[in-house]
Amino acid sequence: MADNIIAKKTEDFAVRIVKLWKYLTKSKEYEMSTQIKRSGTSIGANVIEGLFAQSKRDFVSKMSIALKECAETQYWLRLLHRTEYLTDAEFSSLNDDAEEIGKILSSIINSAKKAINNNNNNNNNVDDIFVIDDEE
């Protein structure tokens, strides 16, 4: 799993979210911090589940849930920013990471759906549709 880009990025993002949660709870903010911790760490958890999917459709489902959690996390980031719990710089940094993760997940989902629709590979091997280049 160490060479899996989306798994690494989502785990690194989850670590940042947990650190944000610690900071927010020290500032006595409990409601939004709990929500963002749940959604922000759920992204990577669903990606990992997807890597062990039982079928291509299960894989797409898990990646789609991860994408929804990413969108929810961005909502909480915007709200924390607008209520002045996050500075402009903090918000931009976290939101940029979430944006990148969302784009990667969208690409993965679209590729997986195409593979399913094209019926190119009938063995339902998730590895056949989960290819991402680390070159940018």
Query: What residue has token string 């650190």?
Result: 19
* Number of structural domains found in the chain: 1
Measured CA to CA in angstroms, residue 81 lies from 29, 49, 85, 103, 113 at distances of 13, 31, 6, 22, 35
User: What does pTM read for this prediction?
Assistant: 0.85
Dihedral sign of CA atoms 84, 86, 89, 93 in order: negative
Q: HSE on the CB side for 43, CA within 13 Å?
A: 36
Q: What is the pLDDT of residues 27-55, one digit of tens each?
A: 998 999 999 999 999 999 999 999 999 99
Provide the pLDDT confidence category of residue 132 given band limits of 50, 70 and 90.
Answer: very low
Provide the pLDDT confidence category of residue 135 given band limits of 50, 70 and 90.
Answer: very low
Q: Is residue 23 part of a domain?
A: yes
Percent of the chain's residues with pLDDT above 70: 85
CATH number of domain containing 80: 1.20.1440.60
Flag whether pLDDT at 122 surpasses 70. no
Q: Is residue 121 part of a domain?
A: no
Q: Is residue 93 part of a domain?
A: yes
